[in-house]
A = this chain, B = another copy of it.
């Protein structure tokens, strides 16, 4: 069972580089199957999930393989006219990002906003 649970929140596109470095640093500190890491993107930050936005493709895929759960807010996807087929297939979609942030904290997740 996971000892640690954390949800990262990102709503600014230019914070992705820092966030992904944060997640990588965190993974270096723990045994992979003892932690649950979720990255919740809403607002403009969902644009980074666009599979035509190639800057982060490789690192997103690598971290996904290491168990990191990438999540997108559907309100934001609709606001930026992104369809589910426009974003990476491993990205999970939730109806409302802020609802997800609230629920996860009530389940004991720590909250970190880079």
Contacts and interface: CB of A to CB of B under 8 A. Distances in A.
Contact of A96 (B11, B25, B95, B96): B25
A30 interface: yes
Given A29-B95, A95-B29, A9 B106 contact: no
B111 A111 contact: yes
Given A11-B18, A75-B25, A110 B99 contact: no
Given A105-B111, A106-B4, A110-B105, A43 B18 contact: yes
Interface of A: 4, 6, 9, 11, 18, 22-23, 25-26, 28-30, 42-43, 73, 75, 95-99, 101-103, 105-106, 108, 110-114
13 contacts: A4-B103, A6-B98, A9-B112, A22-B42, A23-B98, A25-B96, A25-B99, A26-B102, A43-B114, A98-B112, A101-B110, A106-B108, A113-B113
